[in-house]
């Protein structure tokens, strides 16, 4: 089997690596990829007006896998379907579950999927009138894709009005906020569930937990994600069952009933509240950095599982997982997420790999004398172990080998999970 992975970040590096381990896979291509990915794949750099359908035909690709949401929301799966080529990822209609917050919230309301109460607005004055009568904090969300930056948690009316104005006047997020959703604030701990979907069946992967804020103890600005671990102890077996019955299965059933079956990876971002799990957001693709922690624990054959999603035979597949845990530490540049420095020489990647860590590249360039930083998030250092503590220790040992001027990372990745496991032991 020949596989094409679309995308260029740490998530795609992890996907390409795991797919390259599948028994039936003879070649993995990544486009646009990055030169770091040549360890597991052939890289096809970006060209102007890249036509992925033509590329897949030229390379005789058996299965194309989309990483980022943008191509899915723009209808790449539909183009592959028209050409009769196998594609892992939802159609544009199904991808609205991520592409439009208004669509996602209305969909959840219609199908009784637990989420925060909300109102959707297309008129700035109406929105401002609404927030005068609400309790705070209040969450203001741009409707469209905003690269993880379209959510403002307003602590008071003044902040809410500011956020509404910035979004609705099209000043922020490239106009993604011309429509907005205003929703109630949910308290609790967050967790992520990624799930394989074949349009009819849904099989959850191991649970995981992202760390969205830049600083330790979840302080500072929101980022694309500063680290993750899997499985997340907060998701007990009983909660997994609730999430399957109340959230994942209803989404896949409803999408099918509405004529837009969801094929690909469904990502449920959840708040585990006192009243049970509630949806913070859905994504229509693998999460980043969760994927880098979840895939190393997959025991099954990723290419086969993905192919069964495309063929509608996921119910015939066993999706099995290794015992133990994985921890993923994101290394970012100075100034991220506001701005980021680049072109700093990175030292020590090989030494971290020699300790048994995976190093997935999110933003690097390769020069004659080695790798240099090129993005805000630069590397994911991932380690597996039989306990969460062991995986964490090994991942940070890997991190300690890596250096560049201004490198920043969180030193508390997975601590919430470790504390929960300790408490559970104490109470037993
Ligand atoms: P989103 O892009 O919708 O995932 O939101 C980004 C982050 O904002 C989430 O990971 C949460 O930490 C936070 N957030 C979003 N919606 C809510 C909500 N209704 N209540 C509390 N926090 C939220
Ligand atoms: N980890 C958050 C996301 O992938 O959107």
Q: CATH 3.30.1490 in the chain, residues?
A: 123-178
Answer for the pair 207, 191: CB distance below 8 angstroms, yes or no: yes
Q: pLDDT (tens digit, 9 = 90+) per residue, 271-296?
A: 999 999 999 999 999 999 999 999 99
- Whether a cis peptide bond, with omega within 30° of 0, leads into 231 is yes
In percent, how much of the chain has pLDDT > 90? 88
Ligand 2: which of 279, 287, 330 to mutate, most ligand atoms within 8 Å of CB?
A: 287
Q: Pairing between strand 364-367 and 370-373?
A: antiparallel
Q: Which residues line ligand 2 (CB under 6 A)?
A: 148, 210, 225, 283, 287-288, 290
- 282 CA from centroid of ligand 2 (Å): 10
Q: Which residue in 88, 326, 113 sits closest to 206, CA to CA? A: 326
- 210 CA from centroid of ligand 2 (Å): 8
CA 69/CA 7 separation, integer angstroms: 10
> pTM higher than 0.75, yes or no?
yes
Atom of ligand 1 nearest to the CA of 212: 10
Q: pLDDT (tens digit, 9 = 90+) per residue, 371-417?
A: 999 989 999 999 999 999 999 999 999 999 999 999 999 999 999 99
DSSP state of 344: P
Q: Which residue in 142, 36, 144 sits closest to 366, CA to CA? A: 36
Atom of ligand 2 nearest to the CA of 225: 1
Sheet holding 325-332, edge to edge: 209-210, 227-230, 325-332, 377-385, 358-361
Give the per-residue pLDDT at 47.
Answer: 82
Q: pLDDT (tens digit, 9 = 90+) per residue, 321-371?
A: 999 999 999 999 999 998 878 899 999 999 999 999 999 999 999 999 999
Answer for the pair 14, 295: CB distance below 8 angstroms, yes or no: yes
DSSP state of 244: I
CATH 3.40.50.20 given to domain 2-94: yes
CA 268/CA 75 separation, integer angstroms: 21
Q: Which residue in 4, 27, 23 sits closest to 299, CA to CA? A: 23
Total number of residues shown for the chain: 428
Q: Could you say which of 3.30.1490, 3.90.1200, 3.30.70, 3.40.50 is the CATH number of the domain covering 123-178? A: 3.30.1490
pLDDT at 424 over 90: no
Q: Which phi-psi region, left, alpha or beta, contains residue 419 (left: φ > 0; alpha: ψ -120 to 50)?
A: alpha
pLDDT at 302 over 70: yes
CA 252/CA 170 separation, integer angstroms: 33
Q: CATH 3.40.50.20 in the chain, residues?
A: 2-94
- 280 CA from centroid of ligand 1 (Å): 6
- 271 CA from centroid of ligand 1 (Å): 8
């Amino acid at each position: 089997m020949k596989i094409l992975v679309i995308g260029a970040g740490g998530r795609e590096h992890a996907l390409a690596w795991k797919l390259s381990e599948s028994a039936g896979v003879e070649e993995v291509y990544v486009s646009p990829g990055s030169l770091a990915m040549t360890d597991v794949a052939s890289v096809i750099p970006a060209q102007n007006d890249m036509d992925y359908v033509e590329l897949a035909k030229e390379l005789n690709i058996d299965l194309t896998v989309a990483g980022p949401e943008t191509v899915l929301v723009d209808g790449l799966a539909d183009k592959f379907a028209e050409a009769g080529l196998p594609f892992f990822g939802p159609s544009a209609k199904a991808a609205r579950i991520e592409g439009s917050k208004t669509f996602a919230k209305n969909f959840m309301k219609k199908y009784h999927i637990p989420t925060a109460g909300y109102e959707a607005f297309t008129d700035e004055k109406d929105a401002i009138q609404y927030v005068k009568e609400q309790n705070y904090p209040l969450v203001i969300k741009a409707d469209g894709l905003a690269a993880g930056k379209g959510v403002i948690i307003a602590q008071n009316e003044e902040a809410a009005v500011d956020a509404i104005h910035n979004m609705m006047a099209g000043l922020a997020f490239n106009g993604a906020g011309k429509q907005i959703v205003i929703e109630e604030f949910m308290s609790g701990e967050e967790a992520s569930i990624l799930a394989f979907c074949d349009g009819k069946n849904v099989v959850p992967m191991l649970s995981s937990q992202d760390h969205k804020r830049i600083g330790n103890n979840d302080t500072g600005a929101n980022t694309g994600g500063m680290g993750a671990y899997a499985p997340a102890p907060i998701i007990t077996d009983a909660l997994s069952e609730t999430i399957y019955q109340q959230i994942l299965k209803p989404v896949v059933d409803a999408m099918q009933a509405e004529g837009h079956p969801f094929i690909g990876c469904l990502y449920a971002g959840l708040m585990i509240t006192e009243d049970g799990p509630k949806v913070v957001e859905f994504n229509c693709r693998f999460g980043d950095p969760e994927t880098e922690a979840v895939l190393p624990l997959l025991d099954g054959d990723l290419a086969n599982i993905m192919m069964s999603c495309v063929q509608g035979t996921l119910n015939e597949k066993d999706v099995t997982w290794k015992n133990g845990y994985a921890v993923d530490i994101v290394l970012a540049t100075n100034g991220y997420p506001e701005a980021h420095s680049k072109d700093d020489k990175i030292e020590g990647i090989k030494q971290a790999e020699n300790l048994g860590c995976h190093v997935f590249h999110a933003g690097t360039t390769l020069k004659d004398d080695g790798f240099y930083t090129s993005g805000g998030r630069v590397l994911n250092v991932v380690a597996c172990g039989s306990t969460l503590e062991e995986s964490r220790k090994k991942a940070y040992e890997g991190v300690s080998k890596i250096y560049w001027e201004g490198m920043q990372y969180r030193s508390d990745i997975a601590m919430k999970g470790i504390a929960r496991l300790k408490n559970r032991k104490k109470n037993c």
